[in-house]
Amino acid sequence: MGPTAIAERLRACIETGEFGPLTGAYAHDVVLDASVPGSRRRLRGPREAAEALSSSFPGPGRLIEWDAEIDRAGIAVWVERVGHDGAAVRQRHYLHVGRDGRVTRHWVYAARPRSTPPPEPVPEAAEELFAGLGSIAERVTLASSGWSGNRIDRLVLADGRALIAKRIVPGSDWLGRASHDPGREALLFSDRVFARMPAAVDPAIVAAERDADAWWVVTRDVSGELLDDSTPLTREQNRFVLECASSMWAEFWDDAVPHLSTLGDRLACAAPAVSERERDGVDILPKQFEAAWEAFDEAVDADVGAAVLELVDDVTPLAAALTERGTTLIHSDLRDENIALPDGRLVLLDWGLATQGHPAVDLAWYMVHDVWRIAATHDEVVEDFRRALGERDDPAALELGLISGLVMYGWIFGHSAVVHTDPGEREWARARSSRGGCRVCGTPSNSGGEMAGYTIMALEEIPDVLGDYPGEMRMSAASELGTEQVGFTWRRMPPLTGGKGSYGHRHKTQEEVYFVASGTLQFKLEDEVIDVAAGSLVRVAPEVARSVWNQGPGDAVVIIVSTKSEDPQDDTESVEDFWPKDEEPPASA
């Protein structure tokens, strides 16, 4: 049948509630793994799989969401359906399609419906809190973008200030239950823990008020300043983040800070035991943990999987070993979505997971989320962390902290490597989950600490460092490729871009080879300008001043390979006014 036809049939079956036609799309030995409210079912065979799916969608219904990503070997679907009784069911499906065009594996995870009832009126206590902030010109209830399902309102005051009000009900969400959250964010504000924060760290909270068994927490609306989905961080920005965080760690070092999560609870937030406890719920992450950790075990070498899963099942030894190295207040959710970098401050949002732990745990979580966007190697990010800690730098704690990154996040790598249907996603995760290529938290998976044996990356995973300048330039030095001896740059140059009318450069020690992969480029090498067509290579000795220009008419692609410099800035010499804009082009090709 093929992925497109299978997706269409699955959609029709969910709409009608009749799953018999889906049996023809399944291989005879298909395996269904369905984590839905009340159970996790693993079944083999087309009839058994179809019957299990029909129990989630009895009778006909109306689709309000169908978002299918179809790849050559599989399908990933978000679906939400409202049944005849008004009940909404939302699920995430992954289907692997074999070479014969039939489904071989099918995963289903329940998720929280988006078609929720209108929010209840704001309680009186919240009205009083909001009124104390100033005259409210506008208030809108937002859909939560996080995993907790907390109610979130956006307030605009008469003076133009925008605020975000979040209602926290302790024990009402799976993550709060896993971390035993008593209303942590509000309590840290009301008990003046945040008042001790160094000036460089801004929690952005302006008010907190108890509302019966709940809390309202009000923050400045800094959504426009948060890191977006793609902008790289320079190494200087990375150092700034770590130095600001280090000032917080130093302020609370060895203090028993009230209301924090224990390190054991934090490390265990993604354990299969959470799936067991949340069996009756509809939050997608607890539904994924069991299958994802099994996928991790499938993706990695047996000894690696066994060692990590032993810690996942019982985090006590790891938590105890880290605690012995010293503890402080750590944010514990230090990542792009919670970070803003305005005017010399580090704004940190969402303190619901704040933990009594070692800073190396913050580093590990930060790296698994953000190391891809930092223009520095794994080892350089770790070096910046150690420098920020100063006298509290502790190699043993660092190693334990990086292990904690796998314990907290390894399930994502397993799920992406085995369950996900996007080939690029699977390749990316398998490269990081393998013994030779795994650099999950900035350290190779082999215990000897040597460089990874191999790394596989899609070109799109390497950051484009050109910013607003036309074209693209993707450099291994800004990526997770982890090279020790070789530098690699891929550059796409639109017409009339390059070094003409600007400076050139030469090197002290670095030899470069340029391969023109497409188009035709002009090279200026010292005083000579040469047209170089696609398929040609140009070797340039270190001392030769050089620059490259695309006269057009189409795009050109050049690949540059060189020896890797330990200090590129020191090795590079700029040559000002090297290629005047009005200089005549070469007489012949």
What's the token pair of residue 373?
Answer: 């966007």
* Average pLDDT score over the chain: 88
How many CA atoms within 13 Å lie on the side-chain side of 119? Answer: 16
Percent of the chain predicted with pLDDT > 70: 90
pLDDT at 443: 37
- Between CA 462 and CA 477 the distance in angstroms is 9
- Between CA 141 and CA 197 the distance in angstroms is 30
CB within 8 Å of 192: residues ≥ 6 apart = none
CB within 8 Å of 324: residues ≥ 6 apart = none
Task: Work out the pLDDT band at 100, boundaries 50, 70, 90.
Answer: confident
Who has greater pLDDT, 568 or 304?
304
Q: Which amino acid is at 468?
A: D
Q: Note whether 467 and 234 are within 8 A (CB).
A: no
- Residues spanned by CATH 3.90.1200.10 within the chain? 226-433
Least confident of 26-40, 52-66, 112-126, 185-199: 112-126
Tell me the CA end-to-end span of the chain in Å, nearest whole number. Answer: 52
Whether pLDDT at 109 is above 50: yes
pLDDT per position as a tens digit, 187-197: 999 999 999 99
Candidates 136, 109, 110; CA nearest to 122 is 136
Task: Work out the pLDDT band at 145, boundaries 50, 70, 90.
Answer: very low
3-111 adopts what CATH topology? Nuclear Transport Factor 2; Chain: A, (3.10.450)
Whether pLDDT at 169 is above 80: yes
Least confident of 116-130, 147-161, 220-234: 116-130
Q: Note whether 83 and 58 are within 8 A (CB).
A: yes
Whether pLDDT at 395 is above 60: yes
- Residues spanned by CATH 3.30.200 within the chain? 124-223
Who has greater pLDDT, 144 or 527?
527
- Residues spanned by CATH 3.10.450.50 within the chain? 3-111
Q: Which CATH architecture has domain 485-579?
A: Sandwich (2.60)
pLDDT per position as a tens digit, 197-254: 999 999 999 999 888 889 999 999 998 888 888 888 999 999 999 999 999 999 999 9
Return the residue matching tokens 């036809």.
Answer: 5
pLDDT at 16: 96
Q: What is the CATH number of domain 226-433?
A: 3.90.1200.10
- Residues spanned by CATH 2.60.120.10 within the chain? 485-579
Whether pLDDT at 491 is above 90: yes
CA-CA distances (angstroms) from residue 240 to 21, 247, 306, 364, 377? 57, 11, 37, 17, 16
Q: Tell me what the mean pLDDT of segment 551-570 comes to.
A: 86
Q: Which CATH architecture has domain 124-223?
A: 2-Layer Sandwich (3.30)
Q: Which amino acid is at 337?
A: E
What DSSP letter does each residue of 69-93 carry, written as one string? Answer: EEETTEEEEEEEEEETTS-EEEEEE
Percent of the chain predicted with pLDDT > 90: 64
